[in-house]
């Protein structure tokens, strides 16, 4: 058993990072160029019952610099 004063513990977490895209029925008309897809990105536990909320407060995705608001979180 680890000593409570031991700060050299190792924590291993398995998680998945991915995305889902859906084609819009009609491209947007207010953006140039029009947006043709809705994108969702995610970070989730690889364990179906796992909860990362106690370990991760925020996740920031860096998109290609040509995207508006390329740093999203």
Task: Concatenate the DSSP letters of all residues of 5-69 into one string.
Answer: T---------EEEEEEEEE-SS--SSSSSPP-EEEEEEEEESSTT---TTT-S---EE--TTSTT
Domain housing 37: 15-72
Give domain status of residue 61, yes or no.
yes
Q: Would you say residue 5 has pLDDT above 80?
A: no
On average, the pLDDT of the chain sits at: 86
Predicted TM-score (pTM) above 0.85: no
Looking at the 3D structure of the chain, how many domains does it have?
Answer: 1
**Residue 1 confidence class, pLDDT cut points 50, 70, 90:** low
């Amino acid at each position: 058993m680890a000593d409570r004063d031991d700060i050299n513990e190792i924590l291993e977490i398995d998680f998945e990072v991915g995305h889902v895209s859906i084609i819009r029925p009609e491209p947007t008309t207010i953006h140039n160029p029009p947006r043709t897809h809705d994108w969702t990105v995610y970070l989730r536990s690889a364990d179906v019952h796992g909860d990362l909320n106690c370990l991760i407060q925020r996740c920031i995705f860096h998109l290609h610099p040509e995207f508006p608001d390329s740093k999203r979180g």
